[in-house]
Amino acid sequence: MSWRGRKILLRPWLRMIGLVSLIVPRRLRADWRRQWEADLKFHESLHQKWRGNSWRDKRDLLRHSSGSFRDALLLQPKRLEEEIFQDLRYGVLRLRKQPGFFVVIILTLGLGIGANTAIFSIVNPVLLNPFPYRDHSRLMIIGQNLPQIGVDRGLYFSGPEYIDIREQNRSFEHVAAWEQVRRNLTDETHPGRPEPIMAAKVSGELFRMLGVEPVLGQAITAADQGPNISPVLVIGYGLWQRRFGGEAGVIGRVVSLDDERYTITGVMPPNFRFGFRNDNEAWFPFPMDLNQLSRAERAYCLIARLKTDVGAEQAQSDLRLIARQWEKEFLALHPEYAGAGLTPIALIEFILGIVRQALLALSAAVGLILLIACANVAGLLLANAIIREKEMAIRIALGAGRRRIVQQLLTESVLISLCGGALGLLIAYCGLQLLQAITPAEAIPTGAVIKIDTTVLFFTLAVSLLSALIFGLWPALHTRRSSLHQSLQETGRDSDASRPGKRAQRWLIVGEVAVSLILLVMAGLMLRSFGRLMQVKLGFNSDNLITARLNLPRARYQSLEQRADFYLRVIERVERLPGVKGIVVASDRPVSDRAVISHLAMNNRDNMSFTIGAAEAAVVHALNTRTVSPGYFRLMGIPLTSGQDFTNQDTTGKPGAIIINRTMANRYWPHEDPIGQRIKAESTDVCCEWLSIRGVVEDTVQGSLLTPTQPEVYFPLGQMAARYRRMNLLVRTNASIPELPNLIRREVLAIDKDQPIYDLFTMNELINRSVAARRFAMWMLVIFAGIALTLATVGIYSLMSYTVAQNTREIGIRMALGGQRKDILMLIVSQGMVLATSGIVIGLGASFALTWLIAGLLYGVSTTDAITFGGVAVILFGVALLACCIPARRATKVDPITALKCE
């Protein structure tokens, strides 16, 4: 028998047969293996006779043996199928016999799986597929630091700067520029129907860089850009459907944006978005040569695509070189370049900012909740398995293999978890509907649509099956280990074999409590932080205040006088409406509806440079500015602490007048009265070079509740109206008047029929919207912490109940021997509280380590806030105590005689 001697290891085709034979049913295994090995060895011997074992022969042998896998699989199915159906039927039977027990389990799982499904349906479109562009991970926004004029992470560049970056860089495939604008769209087919739309001026290479093809026509190319070229327009899908009826004939149609004519050349696909706002509906090329513009007029944002083999660090050093070059070459004419820096920021980081952090934190939170839920369910099933030991032992004695029993338990687990998954989907769906009702769309900056789609369904299925594995495996393995003989003899309670199971249950409870504590601490911190945020002093009266926006087209309102005149007429007409206490016009609203969650809110459009101080000590500063009509401060309820307000006499030709806020007064004139002081404007579109300070007002919120007040300069409308095409109306009313917005709109249209107003909100609405994202994250954490707390409580309660039920006999004996009810109570409660306290302590420690994860979301509260930590620990302690006391009280009601008699 010499063939037995040869080493099988060197013959992988034979090894494979050995491995595959493991899945062949036992009764067929020996025969099957014999057949395959014999044929393979024959095959081998043929090769040896002819050629000796070359690699081709080995390959043939491997191919031969690889078919064994299919053969083995085909020997399986019928029996496995039958067994699975049997198990399912048995599982459903058991469910019906113990409905209460299984309802608790399915509810627990439903909560855990539902929370995960909900978060995933948000994470999927926002983090995993955020942008409709080709390979968005290589797209970068370029930021600029100009410390000399106070620009930090600024987003705006001038035309020549853009050209420099585009031509001199070596890391980017394309660099494109864009400018966000508002336009009134009119066309001949819909006369008298002007429509305000958000649009963007873009440079020629943008669309190619984004890699998105239009559904109709063609996108903007480099050839479309520049002066003397007939202007083209690419519109969005929504606009195409809404205004042009989705007709293919829209290509070539001529429309007007603010009285400038454009030819439509392309329509973008439905999910396409680009720009700071997700509702951009049209894109058109720059009509001028960007290189010809002034180097100091910074109005354009830049986006670039990294070359395929270039990393962000390389791009960073590349940009640094360009900044150095600017400093060297242009410092004399442009002192702001001293110490200038350029930074590339990944697009997703830029758009999402802390939302990304928040979502990751939430994902971790729901993952933990799922673990708690599985732990609870495992504990319950474990307890159940211990009770079922006798049943299992009998089955094994009657011939069921252990593998069969494990298979049955796992099938039951899958059944339970699929029910839990279905419930979870329902919970997630309702939860998402609720969330969408209370959260405005701006909370999600990428404009993603959140819904339960096929990906989410697959995720839910995967999570359900994973849970089944987690909570099902433990009891199943436990069953395998238990001793047959002992189980048959025992009365099914508290046998030695179940001790490891009991220990595991205790550790599960400790873990649950710890995780709940972590989540509660995070929720508590968010709640306190949000409370602080809502207490921030606005500095003005926000009640009964309506805001609206207007965009004046350049063509018809070219001069300062035309614009100022228009606004005056609007003020006159609206003031006369019933219920209106007053109306003013301002270049910006005190609170922006864009939450400060990312770089998006850095709006230094209204930032201008001023020289402050005596000639020798003069320093250039970049300051926030605002242009307001006279009476603004009185209407807004902003106190004028010294000096005087603007009047209607502050127009062009008169000396430049400004009003400053208290922060600016304190910073630059700390020991003297700033009234009458003069500062010099360095920007070109200011009315006058020298500005005299007319008054000082109190600080107000600027743009966002979160940013500390910066120095601010107010200009009078009569002198600065030329600079702004978009203006905000602020209307104070006596009380809330629902039809007022329409009345205002009517008045404005009466002055100019092509002038729509938009973005009509009350001030309080705006404030709510500005904190929408934060509130969203906060509510999510609160909900999840609540779920975790509920699950942990249920876990403690079930464990204690079970312990009491198991130890009824012992309790009966104790009481018969003279034990007091009080002592029994203390015994049970102390058992449970030891676990809870351990969990709390561990949880506190972990919280200290982990709260930095949500640091970016907090305001005014430290990550180790003692009140929150302490409060949560106390709450959890109290709840755990309650959960222990109820079963403990039941224990004290045990009648010793009944207890001794029961089995």
Backbone angles phi, psi at 274, to 5 degrees: -155, 140
Backbone angles phi, psi at 143, to 5 degrees: -110, 155
Q: Is 35 in the site for other proteins (CB under 8 A)?
A: yes
Whichever of 28 and 92 has its CB closer to other proteins, that residue is 28
Contacts of 878 (CB under 8 A, 6+ apart): none
Q: Which stretch binds other proteins (CB under 8 A): 70-78, 173-181, 742-750, 794-802?
A: 70-78
Place of tokens 């410092």: 331
847, HSE (Cβ side, Cα atoms, 13 Å) = 29
Q: Using the 8-state DSSP alphabet, how is residue 336 labeled?
A: G
Rounded to whole angstroms, the Cα distance separating 344 from 340 reads 14
- CB 791 to other proteins: min, Å: 48
Q: Which stretch binds other proteins (CB under 8 A): 58-66, 316-324, 569-577, 705-713?
A: 58-66
Q: Is the distance from CB of 691 to CB of 653 less than 8 angstroms? A: no
Q: Is 2 in the site for other proteins (CB under 8 A)?
A: yes
Instruction: Let me know if 207 is exposed, middle or buried by CB neighbors in 10 A (0-12, 13-18, 19+).
Output: buried
Residue type, 709: T
Rounded to whole angstroms, the Cα distance separating 176 from 166 reads 8
Task: Please count the other Cβ atoms lying within 10 Å of the Cβ belonging to residue 457.
Answer: 14
Q: Is the distance from CB of 840 to CB of 873 less than 8 angstroms? A: yes
- CB 56 to other proteins: min, Å: 15
Q: Is 808 in the site for other proteins (CB under 8 A)?
A: no
| Contact with other proteins (CB under 8 A) among 42, 96, 491, 849 | 42
- CB 58 to other proteins: min, Å: 15
- CB 46 to other proteins: min, Å: 9
- CB 26 to other proteins: min, Å: 17
Rounded to whole angstroms, the Cα distance separating 253 from 264 reads 6
Whichever of 59 and 753 has its CB closer to other proteins, that residue is 59
Rounded to whole angstroms, the Cα distance separating 660 from 187 reads 43
Whichever of 47 and 94 has its CB closer to other proteins, that residue is 47
Query: Which among 381, 444, 453 has a CA at the least distance from the CA of 412?
Result: 381
Please count the residues of this chain forming the interface with other proteins, following the rule CB under 8 A.
Answer: 23
- CB 401 to other proteins: min, Å: 24
Q: Which stretch binds other proteins (CB under 8 A): 38-46, 239-247, 691-699, 873-881?
A: 38-46
Q: Is 3 in the site for other proteins (CB under 8 A)?
A: yes
- CB 60 to other proteins: min, Å: 10
Contacts with other proteins, 560-579, as mask; x by CB under 8 A: --------------------
Q: Which stretch binds other proteins (CB under 8 A): 61-69, 272-280, 468-476, 818-826?
A: 61-69
Q: Is 23 in the site for other proteins (CB under 8 A)?
A: no
Q: Which stretch binds other proteins (CB under 8 A): 66-74, 397-405, 722-730, 843-851?
A: 66-74
Rounded to whole angstroms, the Cα distance separating 747 from 726 reads 18
Q: Is 34 in the site for other proteins (CB under 8 A)?
A: yes
- CB 38 to other proteins: min, Å: 4
Query: Which among 591, 703, 720 has a CA at the least distance from the CA of 659?
Result: 720
Task: Please count the other Cβ atoms lying within 10 Å of the Cβ belonging to residue 343.
Answer: 17
Whichever of 73 and 750 has its CB closer to other proteins, that residue is 73
Q: Is 71 in the site for other proteins (CB under 8 A)?
A: yes
Whichever of 41 and 725 has its CB closer to other proteins, that residue is 41
Residue type, 440: P
Whichever of 51 and 70 has its CB closer to other proteins, that residue is 70
Q: Is the distance from CB of 206 to CB of 220 less than 8 angstroms? A: yes
- CB 27 to other proteins: min, Å: 14
Q: Is 48 in the site for other proteins (CB under 8 A)?
A: no
Whichever of 70 and 537 has its CB closer to other proteins, that residue is 70
Q: Is 41 in the site for other proteins (CB under 8 A)?
A: yes
- CB 73 to other proteins: min, Å: 9
Token representation of residue 229: 């070229």
Q: Is 59 in the site for other proteins (CB under 8 A)?
A: no
- CB 9 to other proteins: min, Å: 18
Place of tokens 């960073």: 316
| Contact with other proteins (CB under 8 A) among 56, 63, 261, 499 | 63
Token representation of residue 61: 């042998």
| Contact with other proteins (CB under 8 A) among 19, 30, 38, 618 | 38
Q: Is 898 in the site for other proteins (CB under 8 A)?
A: no
Query: Which among 516, 496, 478 has a CA at the least distance from the CA of 376?
Result: 516
Whichever of 33 and 320 has its CB closer to other proteins, that residue is 33
Task: Give the helix/strand (H/E) hosting 155.
Answer: none
- CB 70 to other proteins: min, Å: 4
Q: Is 69 in the site for other proteins (CB under 8 A)?
A: yes
Task: Please count the other Cβ atoms lying within 10 Å of the Cβ belonging to residue 386.
Answer: 25
| Contact with other proteins (CB under 8 A) among 16, 17, 68, 703 | 68
Determine the distance from the C-alpha atom of residue 41 to the mean position of all C-alpha atoms in its chain, rounded to a whole number. Answer: 61
Q: Is 67 in the site for other proteins (CB under 8 A)?
A: yes
Query: Which among 495, 475, 266, 500 has a CA at the least distance from the CA of 382?
Result: 475
3-state DSSP: the chain helix, strand, coil percent, rounded to 5? 55, 15, 25
| Contact with other proteins (CB under 8 A) among 64, 136, 532, 726 | 64
Give the three-state DSSP class for 624: strand
- Between the two ends of the chain, the Cα-to-Cα distance in Å is 63
- CB 356 to other proteins: min, Å: 48
Whichever of 3 and 55 has its CB closer to other proteins, that residue is 3
Task: Give the helix/strand (H/E) hosting 694.
Answer: strand 690-697
Whichever of 25 and 655 has its CB closer to other proteins, that residue is 25
| Contact with other proteins (CB under 8 A) among 53, 66, 291, 649 | 66
Q: Is 19 in the site for other proteins (CB under 8 A)?
A: no
Query: Which among 374, 416, 395 has a CA at the least distance from the CA of 480?
Result: 395
At residue 797's C-alpha, the angle toward residues 795 and 803, to 5°, is: 100
- CB 84 to other proteins: min, Å: 22
Q: Which stretch binds other proteins (CB under 8 A): 60-68, 95-103, 563-571, 860-868?
A: 60-68
Q: Which of residues 485-544 bind other proteins (CB under 8 A)?
A: none
Q: Is 53 in the site for other proteins (CB under 8 A)?
A: no
Rounded to whole angstroms, the Cα distance separating 553 from 562 reads 11
Task: Please count the other Cβ atoms lying within 10 Å of the Cβ belonging to residue 426.
Answer: 13
Q: Is 74 in the site for other proteins (CB under 8 A)?
A: yes
Q: Is the distance from CB of 679 to CB of 693 less than 8 angstroms? A: yes
- CB 75 to other proteins: min, Å: 8
Query: Which among 251, 1, 302 has a CA at the least distance from the CA of 141?
Result: 302
- CB 403 to other proteins: min, Å: 24
Query: Which among 389, 399, 410 has a CA at the least distance from the CA of 483?
Result: 389
Residues interacting with other proteins, by CB under 8 A? 2-3, 34-39, 41-43, 45, 63-71, 74-75
